[in-house]
Amino acid sequence: MRAYPYPRPSGPVTMRVTAVRLSGPDEAREDLDTKGYSVVEQVVALGRAERSDWETARLKLSATVPAREMETKGHWSEVTVVAVLAEKATNARTVARLEPEGPANREWTGSIMLVRPDHLDRATLSVHVVATVDGVPGRIIASSERDWMVDVTADVPLRDRQLDVVTVSFARAAEWLRPFRDAPWMVDTSGRMPTVRLNTDFDGLTALVQGAGTKVESLVGEMLLSQLCTDVWTAVFHTAIGDLEIEDDGTPLLPPDWRGEVLREMLPDVVPGRSVEDALREVHARRTGDGTWAELQPRIHYAATRRAEVPKALGETVRGIERLDQEATA
Amino acid sequence: MEVGEDFGPWLARQLQLTRMKQTELAEAVGVTRAAVSAWITGRAEPRTETINKIAEALKLDVGTLHTRTTDTLAGLPFTWYHRPGHADGGREFGNAAAFAFEADLEVLAREATQNSLDERRRGNEQPVRVRYTLNELTGETLARFRTAIRWDDLFPHYESAAAQDQKVGRVISAGLREMYERDRLVLLRVDDYNASGLTGDDYADGRFAAVVRRQLDSRKVDSGAGGSYGLGKATLWATSRLGLVLINSTLAEAHEGRTDRRLIGRLDLPWREVDGKPYAGPAWLGRPDAEADNVDVVRSWWADEDTVRSLHLDRESDDPGTSFLIVGAHDVASLAGARSDGDPGDDEDSLERMHRRLVQALGRNFWAAMTTGGDRQPLLEASVRTQRNGDEFLKEERVDPVIYQPARSRALQAFLGGNTVERITEVGQVAAVTVPLKVPDIEGRPGSGGEHRAVLLVTDASDADGRPNQVTAMRGNRMTVKTSRVPDLPLGTDPFQAVLLAGRAAGDGAPFAAEAEEFLRTSEPPEHNKWSQTEELRMRYSPSAHRRIAALTTATNKAVKELVAVQKEKKDSNGTGKVRKRLKVSGKAAAKGNTAVALPKLDDLDATVGADGAWQVTAEVKVPTGGDTWHMSPVAKLDVRSGPRPVVRWAELVAVSNCEVVDGVLHFAPGARRASFRGVTDVSTHTVRAALTGLVVELHTGRGDSA
């Protein structure tokens, strides 16, 4: 829990994106449809733009602050509201001031510029209320609770992301894949998002994991799918943990991209009962020699199994087989 | 000077009313019968001194004879006429039409306002103004009102009706009890201005007879009208616990040469027996009609201002329209609400609740008719006020559509003002697209149908708009017919509201608007709450005609989705959709399985910076069942924006309750649910002054110094 040495208002600060305009070369302007951003998900999907060569995106914002509380309690003076657009992966950080609109200083509006070359993947957008407190200027007295995500490539405004899944014939694919032609699938974690390759040399593999066909086929498909997912989650976890940035004092940092999200999802199962940061430190310490890496493997395997919903798939398969047996004998 | 009708017809009626023959008048005035006849037929007019004599004979002042705006009160005063029992002995224990609705103020507001809206005068572009007045009468005022409505004549009928153990009888008995025991009567008056008023003859076809004399007679002449069954008026009587409604109408077209203060009262009681005589049910308050076959039958009369005032029926202006006074108004729905609150007997509350419900019902059902846009006037203005014994109790409240339906009225406003866009690029914009409605041919009239383009408006919504993601459909009368949810919206779709304007509502330029209007009206059931298969639709069009409505709904939902939602890309060509679905990265920990342990958690933190610059912390820990075996170490860190947080050491760590501190680790007392401790940070380990940073306190398992 946090404590601050100065008073802060307790009311919520909310923010929403109200319009997005993209600018490209040759004065090309494009207003993004409102369906390109979602208030429910708090995501802006800039990939919906008609042209991909846009250079800047101007996001219009509207923020609501607990003005009445700030007025009545009176601890704060010179209140300003700023929007901050930041992306950890590129260390980009843009700040824009908002202006009060309407009576009572409750609504603050303004716009912030996103410069395409400054961003790689997903930027976070938040709003802070800054004021002078007890004679100290520039203190953050309140912030929006949940950051917005500005995704520069996505074309659907959703927070959750899916890994890429492609089907390819390993035998006839690029050189590096050929040695793996006996493997039904491969997980490649080197790209911007991990990619799962399904080997089409295995006839009917995709149909099977899609669960199409008879009852037996769908039961087998479900098992196969959970096995595939276990492989994927194990692989992405190892990739994520193996590529950490380390602070000067030896503390590992959560990666900003999908790696961080994977760790956040799986670490509670790998090291239960600890905060994610603690768990990360523990796992990193064991991996780099201080402790036993091998002891952790069952836990990683367990986390992946859980994430892949193997217990559920197994239970359903067993029940399904029993039912099939009954039908066969009946 | 205001002059009423011509002398001839006026005199003829006065003679009828006083049951005086032409010869009798001739004798009293001292002229020949032929002279009287000449006055009546309009061939001659009496001289001034003769007029004085006529006034004397009719017991009227001379002025009235000159203005002729009221009738003589000589002869027969207004009185109650109860329809005698049927000769065949049939008994009706209530009005079936009234049971089509609940006695609910919301329903009343909808039906009565709907009728006013349909009767709006088409000649001018002014809105029809509707005002609801709640007036609670007590004490002296109530007694005076009872005298005015001839209560003593009515009471035996009420007593007899209330004694019956039938549904209507029980309602009446409750109404009587409330009036007598609590000395209280609630009047609800519904006024409309700039409407037609109850025109037409007392008995023959016309608005008057449709409302006052008949059941299930819809006089709606316009295909754009909302009603079509003639059921709505029954709600007026259903809302009255005493089944009593008094009516004062100012007519838009003169009847019998007059327009002002046409009064009638109608009482709906079940079959009853009074003094050994059976009565069929309804009764009317009016003046005995000399022309009627039955001498007791009463008709509407042209009242003077005093009578109108004593009946609480005085209208604010001369604009045509009708006032309905519902005597003993009640609201079943809000009574039910009161009972669940546990304060059934709170009158103040009840008046306020009725007021509020009326305002809300008007806002919810008529926001569209009240919306203006561009240079167009609204169709309707509505307000609600509440009085006690005629004095203001709750201020008159003008129903503002923007308050009750911000998003929908914004959408309609933009449409009327021509400010819509094709696609929404900024919050607050209204998108307009058209959707097809293929109006089928009327049976036997090929070529009478065609493709109508209904207008669909979509805009973003807020919490104030009620349930999100709805399509509100309406036609020319701009009354909400149905509100339905748009199904199968993808995840992450922002809340919106859509309005579908079909038929005449789609604007002047819309093709086949009149045909679509008629088609949709035919497809409405009595509740006017959906478009679907009806008997009439089947007969007038074809048995499959209702499919056109289903097609409209489908097209509407599709158009809405196109505007607000990102369609699922059909990228699933390689058949990996199911795999993809399982491989989502959300950054959220998987749901807690049963292996997860419940750990003691910090529940409350109170931290201040002391004079020496050290943080002084008092913290409370919530210990779950079985969590007391854990040893937790409190860790204090300075809050920073990025990077690892600098750990601050404790200079002092003291247990306060339910725990002990061993080497900087908390050991909880067995079975304790809450524990608290106090700590002071070591200033020498602060990397910045305490006043300049926030402090984060966490509980870690194991030893604190490993952090």
CA distances to A72, B372, B504, B505 from B416, rounded to whole Å, are 42, 7, 13, 10
At residue A92, the pLDDT reads: 92
Q: Which of B454, B482, B455, B478 lies closest to B470, judged by CA?
A: B482
Domain boundaries, chain A: 14-151, 164-324
Q: Is residue B583 part of a domain?
A: no
At residue B21's C-alpha, the angle toward residues B17 and B22, to 5°, is 115
The first and second tokens of residue A42, run together, are 């708090």
Residues B398-416: b if buried by 16+ CB within 10 A, e if exposed: ebebbebbbbbbbbbbbbb
Confidence of residue B595 (pLDDT cuts 50, 70, 90): very low
Residue B163's CB: how many other CB atoms inside 10 A? 12
Average pLDDT over residues A47-65: 90
Please list every residue in chain A whose beta carbon sits closer than 8 Å to the beta carbon of residue B695.
Answer: 2-5
Tokens 């037996």 identify what position?
A: A216
Q: Residues 474-493, chain B: which have Cβ within 8 Å of A?
A: 491-493
More confident residue, B47 or B436: B436
Q: Are residues B547 and B612 in the same domain?
A: no
Find out whether B209 and B201 touch, Cβ atoms under 8 Å: yes
| Chain B neighbors of A133, CB-CB under 8 A | none
pLDDT at B334 over 70: no
**Percentage of the residues of chain B whose pLDDT score is greater than 70:** 86
Q: Are residues B83 and B41 in the same domain?
A: no
Residue B181 has pLDDT above 70, yes or no: yes
> Residue B590 belongs to what H/E stretch?
none
3-state class (DSSP) for residue B572: helix
Q: Return the pLDDT at B342.
A: 41
Question: Across the interface, do A247 and B608 touch by the CB < 8 Å criterion?
Answer: no
Asked if residue B250 is part of any domain, the answer here is: yes
B4 closest CA partner among B264, B312, B371, B251: B251
Query: What interhelical angle do B33-41 and B7-17 show, nearest 10?
Result: 120
The Cα of B104 is separated from the nearest Cα of chain A by a number of Å equal to 37
Q: Is B687 on the interface with A (CB under 8 A)?
A: no
Look at residues A127, A11, A16 and name the one whose alpha carbon lies nearest to residue A70. A11
Residue B432 confidence class, pLDDT cut points 50, 70, 90: very high
Average pLDDT over every residue of A285-312: 87
Interface contact B694, partner A, CB < 8 A:
yes
The answer to whether the Cβ–Cβ distance between B424 and A48 falls below 8 Å is: no
Mean pLDDT to the nearest integer, B605-614: 87
Chain B residues whose CB is inside 8 A of the A161 CB are 584-586
Task: Report the alpha-carbon distance of residue B366 to residue B110 in Å, rounded.
Answer: 8
Q: Is B688 at the interface with chain A, CB within 8 A?
A: no
- Burial (CB < 10 A; 0-12, 13-18, 19+), residue B361, is buried
At B515, is the secondary structure helix, strand, or coil?
helix
Per-residue pLDDT at B23 = 85
Any domain includes B244: yes
Q: What percent of chain A has pLDDT over 90?
A: 38
User: Residue B73 domain-assigned?
Assistant: no
Q: Which of residues 437-476 of B touch A (CB under 8 A)?
A: 460
Among the listed ranges A5-14, B260-269, B346-355, which one has the minimum average pLDDT value?
B346-355
Let me know whether B112 and B261 are in one domain.
Answer: yes
Average pLDDT over residues B435-449: 86
Q: From CA A200, how far away is CA B205, in angstroms rounded?
A: 81
Residues B464 and B340 both lie in one domain? no
Q: Which token pair is B540?
A: 């007038």
CA dihedral (B231, B234, B238, B240) in degrees, to 10, reads 160
Q: Is residue B578 part of a domain?
A: no
Same domain membership, residue B520 and residue B431: yes
**Using the beta-carbon criterion (under 8 Å), do A166 and B576 form an inter-chain contact?**
yes
CA B163 to the chain's CA centroid: 33
pLDDT at B705 over 80: no
Chain B residue closest in CA terms to A306:
B590
As a whole number, mean pLDDT of residues A148-172 equals 88
Closest alpha carbon within chain B to A232: B583
The answer on pLDDT for A96 being more than 90 is: yes
Cα(A43)–Cα(B358) distance, rounded to whole angstroms?
A: 41
Whether residues B502 and B423 fall in one domain: yes
- Determine the average pLDDT of the residues in B141-170: 85
The whole-angstrom distance between A288's CA and the closest CA on chain B is 17
Across A86-111, b (16+ Cβ under 10 Å) vs e yields bbbeeebebebebebeeeeebbbebb
Which helix (H) or strand (E) covers residue B34, if one does? Answer: helix B33-41
Same domain, B27 and B171: no
**Any B CB within 8 A of A39 CB:** yes
Q: Count of alpha carbons within 13 Å of B265, Cβ hemisphere only?
A: 32
Q: Is A76 helix (H, G, I), strand (E, B) or coil?
A: strand
Inter-chain touch B495–A39, beta carbons under 8 Å: yes
Segment B203-256, tens digit of pLDDT: 888 888 888 877 766 666 555 555 556 667 788 888 888 888 999 998 888 877
The answer to the question of residue B207 being in a domain is: yes
Mean pLDDT computed over A94-106 = 89
Q: Out of A31, A62, A159, whose CB is closest to B586?
A: A159
Q: How far is B412 from B89, CA to CA, in rounded Å?
A: 55
The pLDDT-based confidence of B345 (bands split at 50, 70, 90) is very low
List the one residue out of A161, A187, A62 whose CA is nearest residue B492.
A161
A20 has a pLDDT exceeding 80: yes
What would the two tokens of residue B9 be?
Answer: 């017809």
CA angle in degrees (0–180, nearest 5) for A21-A92-A88: 110
- pLDDT tens, position by position, B617-631: 999 998 888 777 778
Contact B426 A19 (CB under 8 A): yes
Quote the tokens at residue B478.
């701009």
Judge whether residue B348 has pLDDT over 60: no
CA–CA gap between residue B501 and residue B511 (Å, rounded): 13
Which among B315, B306, B262 has a CA at the least distance from the CA of B133? Answer: B315
Buried b (16+ CB within 10 A) or exposed e, B265-286: bbbbbbbbeeeeeebbbbbbbb
Range with top average pLDDT, A109-113, B99-103, B393-397, B464-468: A109-113
| Contact predicate B199/B253, CB 8 Å | yes
The total of structural domains in chain B comes to 4
The residue assigned the tokens 């950080």 is A93
Boundary of a domain, candidates B398, B421, B450? B398
Average pLDDT over residues B155-165: 85
Nearest-Cα distance to chain B for A230, in Å, is 10
Q: How far apart are CA B176 and CA B151, in angstroms?
A: 12
* ∠ CA B419-B420-B421, rounded to 5°: 125
**Alpha carbon A249 to its chain's center:** 27
- Chain A segment 74-103 residues within 8 A of B by beta carbon are 88
The answer to whether B476 touches B503, Cβ cutoff 8 Å, is yes
Report the residue from A19, A196, A265 with minimal CB separation from B587: A265
Q: What is the pLDDT of residue B71?
A: 62
Which residue in A225, A264, A274 is closest to B701 by CB distance?
A274
Quote the DSSP letter at residue B410.
H
Domain match, B452 and B306 both = no
ipTM: 0.78
Of all residues in chain B, what percent carry a pLDDT higher than 90?
A: 12
Exposure letters B517-533 (e unless 16+ CB within 10 A, then b): bbbbbbbbebebeebeb
Query: Residue B636 is part of which domain span?
Result: 601-706
**Number of alpha helices (DSSP H) and beta strands (DSSP E) in chain A:** 7, 18
Domain harbouring B31, CATH code: 1.10.260.40
Inter-residue contact B162 to B172 (CB < 8 Å): yes
The residue behind tokens 């009085």 is B387
Task: Note whether B400 and B508 are within 8 A (CB).
Answer: no
Which H or E element spans position A171?
none
Report d(CA B119, CA B129) in Å as an integer: 11
What is A14-151's CATH number, 2.30.30, 1.20.120, 1.10.357, 2.60.40? 2.60.40
Residue A62 forms contact with B (CB below 8 Å): yes
Please tell me whether residues B381 and B240 are part of one structural domain.
yes
Mean pLDDT of B598-609: 84
CB pairs under 8 A between A and B: 190
- Beta-sheet pairing, B631-638 with B647-648: antiparallel
In the numeric block, which tokens belong to residue B498?
Answer: 């859509």
Kindly report the nearest CA distance between residue B575 and chain A, in angstroms: 7
For B647, the closest chain A residue by CA position comes to A249
Residue B513's nearest CA partner among B475, B550, B470 is B475
* pTM for this model (two decimals): 0.75
Q: Using alpha carbons, list the distances in angstroms from residue A50 to A30, B447, B558.
A: 8, 44, 22
Domain boundary among B33, B67, B101: B67
Same domain, B152 and B282: yes
pLDDT of B1 strictly over 50: no
Q: Is residue B659 part of a domain?
A: yes
Coil vs helix vs strand at A91: coil
What CA–CA distance (Å, rounded) separates B171 from B174?
A: 5
- Give A184-253 as a DSSP string: SEEEE-SSSS-EEEEETTSTTHHHHHTT-SSHHHHHHHHHHHHHHHHHHHHHHHHHHHHS-EE-TTS-EE
pLDDT confidence bin for B341, thresholds 50/70/90: very low
Residue at which a domain ends, from B32, B67, B102: B67
Lowest mean pLDDT among A260-269, B51-60, B72-81, B437-446: B72-81
Same domain, B624 and B663: yes
* Model confidence band, residue B303 (pLDDT cutoffs 50, 70, 90): confident
My answer on whether B338 and B437 are in the same domain is no
Mean pLDDT (chain A) is: 88
Q: Are B211 and B195 in contact (CB under 8 A)?
A: no
Other Cβ atoms within 10 Å of B144 Cβ, number: 13
Q: Which residues contact B586 (CB under 8 A, 6 or more apart)?
A: A159, A160, A161, A261, A265
d(C-alpha A176, C-alpha A173), whole Å: 8
Highest mean pLDDT among A185-194, A307-316, B159-168: A307-316
Q: How far is A167 from chain B (nearest CA, A)?
A: 7
H/E run at residue B56: helix B48-58
Overall average pLDDT of the B188-199 stretch: 89
Contact between B260 and B323 (Cβ < 8 Å): no
Q: To the nearest whole number, what is the mean pLDDT of chain B? A: 82
Does residue B157 lie within any of the structural domains? yes
Residue A244 contacts B, CB cutoff 8 Å: no
Query: How high is the pLDDT of residue A151?
Result: 92
The mean pLDDT value for A252-266 works out to 87
The phi-psi region of residue B157 (left if phi > 0; otherwise alpha if psi is between -120 and 50; otherwise beta) is alpha
Q: Which of B582, B587, B643 sits opposite A261 (nearest CB)?
A: B587
Reported in sequence order, the residue ranges of B534-658 that DSSP labels E, i.e. its strands, are 584-585, 601-609, 615-622, 631-638, 647-648, 650-657
Query: pLDDT tens digit string along B92-124?
Result: 777 766 666 666 788 888 888 888 888 888 777
A69 touches chain B (CB under 8 A): no
Confidence category of residue B73, pLDDT binned at 50, 70, 90:
low
pLDDT at position B703 is 46
Task: Return the residue in A20, A41, A165 with the most chain B beta carbons within 10 A, the one to mutate for interface testing.
Answer: A165
Q: Is the pLDDT of residue B594 over 60?
A: no
